Structure 1
Amino acid sequence: MKTGVVVILYNPDFSHVTEIKRAFSTAEWDLVFVDNTVNANANADERFIASDCTYIHCGTNVGIAKAQNIGLKKLFDKGVEYAFLLDQDSLFTPTIAAELLQQFKTLEKTSSIAAIGPSIYCQFSDCVDQGVLQKGKKVSDSLKEVKQIIASGMLLSRRAFQRVGEKENGLFIDGVDHEWCWRARAKGMTIYQSLSACMPHRQGDDRVKVLGITFKQGAPIRLYYQFRNVLILARRGYVPLYWKLRHVCAIPVRYIVNRLCFSQGKERGLYMRAGLKDGLKHFSGPIRSDKDVK
């Protein structure tokens, strides 16, 4: 039985994507690339059509949630029972995948598992991420139960996807993976993180220390979705209280740091204010237009 792998692309580095394709282009894997690039490389189809994988170009940036839904439904409609989600820059291997798949199949015999993901080796801090407020509950030497995991490296089953539902398209990008995990937990399912499978990963473009506190630094437009989605998710009963308190209370500090301490501060301020305004109005989906930001 094949296991699916969905890789979401957006202006990708094709040299790395080709490495992922080469690693998972064997009979045991069913590989799907979903491309959110607006003007896809003219050679993209040629890179994938002649190989043992599926390439889907969305034609526009539909957001990571919808792209993931497209890829997962493509696999599950074909009868695939298990599928991984990967970012285009994930340093993910068949060895990591095999370990997670074995753990998932063992867990589903005795528990209502929604998803499992690898431990994350942060390439900025050069250590395994232990979590800030929620470190999870260790259930064995190789597993811990957690409230949420990131999408990159996440393994879920067709059964879990049908029970929990699709990723939330309206969130577009930030918070999509966590929201799905929290929704699964609200339905009585569990989320696990492997302690024996570890994946190197970079979240954000950079890390910057301000007054001894480390902040993630990404593209200015991401701040729109981050600020907006915090306000959207903070109103929901199934979202953990610690997450609401941490992220809502951090809004003033994050605003000051991004506006005054980071490059492109004026542009960052515009996106943050637009995100706060749309979050209060409960607008969702992609940012409407640049003129709504100014």
Structure 2
Amino acid sequence: MVHNDTGCIVVLFKPDYRALAILVKRLNNCMSTILMIDNSPQEDSVSNQHFVESLSPSVKYISMRMNAGIAAAQNKGILECLKSGFKYVLFLDQDSFMTDVNLNKLYSEFQQITIKDHTAVCIGANPQTGEDINKKPVKVKELISSGSMIKLSAFEFLGMFRDDFFIDFVDYEWCWRARKAQKTIYISQSVSFSHQVGNPPRRMGRIVSAPFRNYYFFRNFWIILKENLIPEKEKRKLILYAIKHIVFEVGICPQRFKRFHYIYRGITDGARNRMGQMIL
């Protein structure tokens, strides 16, 4: 089934063409419009555009001409969806893998939820567990954007994603804003998704990210604490998680001095309200 009231946004950054082709093949069966928003360097945009537009007439390519950050790229796609008059938007990563059956199921579950709960603004596929067709969606405090379907009208009264965050906490911050406005967020128990590309390095079962990501994590973490988006109890949990994250990054991961440098810069820039892309 093709959902003509739903646009799909996929943010690109130096994409794996094989994974992208598989994703578009799946989406073709249920999405009439697939927006590819490219954060890759400008020199890659011509080849990326040629490739993605050759995959399907449903694909619309937009280049940001630089890495503008995940939020800015997603916001660009959201505005395009609003102009097109869509009711919902589905967010996926460039290497996401979700069957068309699961995509249709996620859409159907969201339809059922919004009939019963008029405060519902979002549902997410579950990246953590296997599928269980007997379980119903449950309310959650936040979702990652990949695999989520959101009412486009929600962006009109809650605002867009914060592009000054660049990356990290972008999706969570929006969810917490929604929750503060008495809106509800759900996660599916019967729809799962995964990623196709590679096995990221791990230590103690946790993914090891690039050292620079610590800058955005700790800067945006600091901003969130100051803006009182979440209750005190959840703040304490977030602080505890951040402390554990420092121990993991500096004590267990490689390049610990570089990681500490980015953690320090993130905290100091957060304290000074310096937002946007990190200045090297």
What's the % identity of the aligned pairs?
28
Extract unaligned runs of 5+ from structure 2. Answer: none
Provide the rounded CA distance (Å) in 1 between the counterparts of 2:245 and 2:6: 40
Per the alignment, residue 229 of structure 2 pairs with 238
Shift of 1:261: 2.5
Shift of 1:5: 0.7
Per the alignment, residue 222 of structure 1 pairs with 213
Per the alignment, residue 139 of structure 2 pairs with 145
Asked if 1:158 is matched to 2:145, the reply is no
Amino acid at match of 1:165: G
Q: CA RMSD in A?
A: 2.3
Shift of 1:201: 4.7
Per the alignment, residue 47 of structure 2 pairs with 43
- 1:33-72 aligned at under 5 Å gives the runs 33-38=36-41, 39-40=43-44, 42-50=46-54, 51-52=56-57, 53-72=59-78
1:203-259 superposed Cα distances (whole Å, 9 cap, x missing partner): x933312xxxx5441011111101111111012222243442233234444334322
Per the alignment, residue 286 of structure 1 pairs with 277
Q: Is the CA contact 1:205–1:219 (under 8 Å) kept in the aligned structure 2?
A: no
Shift of 1:27: 7.0
Per the alignment, residue 34 of structure 2 pairs with 31
Shift of 1:43: 1.6
Provide the rounded CA distance (Å) in 2 between the counterparts of 1:77 and 1:14: 28
Q: Is the CA contact 1:2–1:30 (under 8 Å) kept in the aligned structure 2?
A: no
Per the alignment, residue 185 of structure 1 pairs with 179
Provide the rounded CA distance (Å) in 1 between the counterparts of 2:149 and 2:200: 25
Change (3 A) 1:169 1:272: same
Relative to its length, the structure with more helix (as a share) is: 2
Change (3 A) 1:42 1:103: same
Shift of 1:66: 0.9
Provide the rounded CA distance (Å) in 1 between the counterparts of 2:187 and 2:144: 10
**How many aligned positions are there?**
270
Shift of 1:55: 0.6
1:102-153 superposed Cα distances (whole Å, 9 cap, x missing partner): 11112212321110001123xxxxx559xxxxxxxxxx93110111111001
Q: Is the CA contact 2:45–2:65 (under 8 Å) kept in the aligned structure 1?
A: no
Asked if 1:257 is matched to 2:248, the reply is yes
Per the alignment, residue 137 of structure 1 pairs with none
SS in 1 for 2:8: strand
Provide the rounded CA distance (Å) in 1 between the counterparts of 2:95 and 2:233: 30
Q: Is the CA contact 1:40–1:57 (under 8 Å) kept in the aligned structure 2?
A: no
Asked if 1:277 is matched to 2:274, the reply is no
Provide the rounded CA distance (Å) in 2 between the counterparts of 1:42 and 1:270: 36
SS in 1 for 2:44: coil
Query: What is the TM-score with the length of structure 2 in the denominator?
Result: 0.88
